[in-house]
Amino acid sequence: MSTFILPVGPQHPALKEPTSFRFLVDGETVVDADLRLGYNHRGIEKGCEERTYIQDLYLLERVCGICSNVHMTVFAQGVEKLMGIEPPKRGLFIRCLMGELERVHSHLLWLGVAGHEVGFDTFFMYTWRDREIVEDILEMVSGNRVNYGMQTFGGVRRDLDEMQIRKVLDGIAALKARTPYYLNIGASEPTLVARIAGVGKLPKAKALELNAAGPTTRASGVDFDVRKDDPYAGFGEHIPFNIVTDEGGDVLARVVVRAKELMESYNICEYILKNLPSGEIRVKAPRKVPEGEVVSRAEAQRGECIHYIRSNGTDKPDRVKVRAPTLANWPATLYMLRGGYVADIPIVMAAIDPCLSCTDRMAIITDPKGNQKVWNWETLRQYGIDFYRKRGIKL
């Protein structure tokens, strides 16, 4: 068979969210890869401009289901800087705790999904069973399993009492006992190692050049972590932890990095709970935010999450821009996919932990002739109305 184009997506069992890949395939080898994003664009950034800051907190929380807390944290941090207020210590520690608990839940989820992509469903079921422990903890602490709604301007919204702290510590201890088993299996089950070792190699130089983020780049030996390099929330108070890196650069290294990050997160959570300072959890925040612009960032589960917020003195933001870490990882993924096998496509894509809901903002597709039209709000709206009218749907 000569080369042909294999489409993966927008609908495909390997993808959890719609993305459009076009692979140029020669037999079983991928010769070239191309990507088109934008299928999960929901207009959240525009929606932020029409809502007050308080309402935007909850809108930005719903950018992604797995990284919801991180987006809320980054936004709250940024607006706090604009307002010029500083949350109390206990609030910062609880903010940090929520971030780490979310990291635990996300990495356990990822381990299961990676297992499923290579056909190892038993691994998937076991990791997700253990993930229920952390989900129950999150439900008890925040009131919901997803979209915790804990962060607000000036601190956190809910406090932890003694009984909750004990329950969280018990859950973390149970997880601490279970997680090394998965690291063990990841390194010693022959079929699993055969699928993930040596696959999707990203050398350190390429990782730096293509600007990869998060565990993807840490698995190639780059030790960049926003928690150490630009501390935020409770990390500014010197909560001790280690950055986890690995020199392998392949999918196995990413599994190892995430499993070890799980152990680090357990240690951070235990430190926070045992050393929780007493006091208030929040300070009062004004409704109108003074004029200014701010860039705020945090270490999401997948890398560095950046928000840019510009305010104009009213109670609605002027512009909110969200850059999620997965966007930074896509060029690196295309590099990894070229030259690999068709069978490796799902696991290499899953190895960067793609979160399309986080990534997709508006996609501009340039005309090959170079005439790039910029559309404003009215043109876009009219285009939508005409599109449906042409097909006989009255609007």
Binding positions for other proteins, rule: CB under 8 A: 1, 4, 6, 12-14, 28, 51-52, 54-59, 61-62, 115-123, 125-126, 129, 132, 136, 139-140, 142-144, 147, 149, 157-158, 181, 184-185, 187-195, 341-346
Q: Which CB atom, from 98 or from 268, has the smaller least distance to other proteins?
A: 98
Q: Tokens representing 346?
A: 């799902």
Q: Which CB atom, from 120 or from 271, has the smaller least distance to other proteins?
A: 120
Whole-angstrom Cα distance, residue 395 to residue 393? 6
| Long-range contacts from 169-178, C-beta under 8 angstroms, 24+ separation | 169/270, 169/273, 169/274, 171/133, 171/134, 171/136, 171/137, 172/137, 172/266, 172/269, 172/270, 172/273, 174/133, 175/104, 175/130, 175/133, 175/134, 175/262, 175/266, 176/263, 176/266, 178/130
Q: What is the DSSP letter of 27?
A: T
Q: Which CB atom, from 243 or from 342, has the smaller least distance to other proteins?
A: 342
CB of 247 to other proteins, least distance (A): 16
CB of 139 to other proteins, least distance (A): 6
CB of 83 to other proteins, least distance (A): 17
CB of 30 to other proteins, least distance (A): 12
Q: Which CB atom, from 208 or from 276, has the smaller least distance to other proteins?
A: 276
Whole-angstrom Cα distance, residue 260 to residue 268? 12
CB of 366 to other proteins, least distance (A): 28
Q: Which CB atom, from 188 or from 278, has the smaller least distance to other proteins?
A: 188
Q: Which CB atom, from 56 or from 304, has the smaller least distance to other proteins?
A: 56
CB of 211 to other proteins, least distance (A): 28
- Counting Cβ atoms within 10 Å, is residue 38 exposed (0-12), middle (13-18) or buried (19+)? middle
Q: Tokens representing 294?
A: 């701010």
Q: Which CB atom, from 192 or from 306, has the smaller least distance to other proteins?
A: 192
Q: Is 14 helix (H, G, I), strand (E, B) or coil?
A: coil
CB of 321 to other proteins, least distance (A): 19
Integer CA distances (angstroms), 300 to 21, 353, 372, in order = 25, 11, 33
Q: Phi, psi (5° rounding) for residue 8?
A: -115, 110
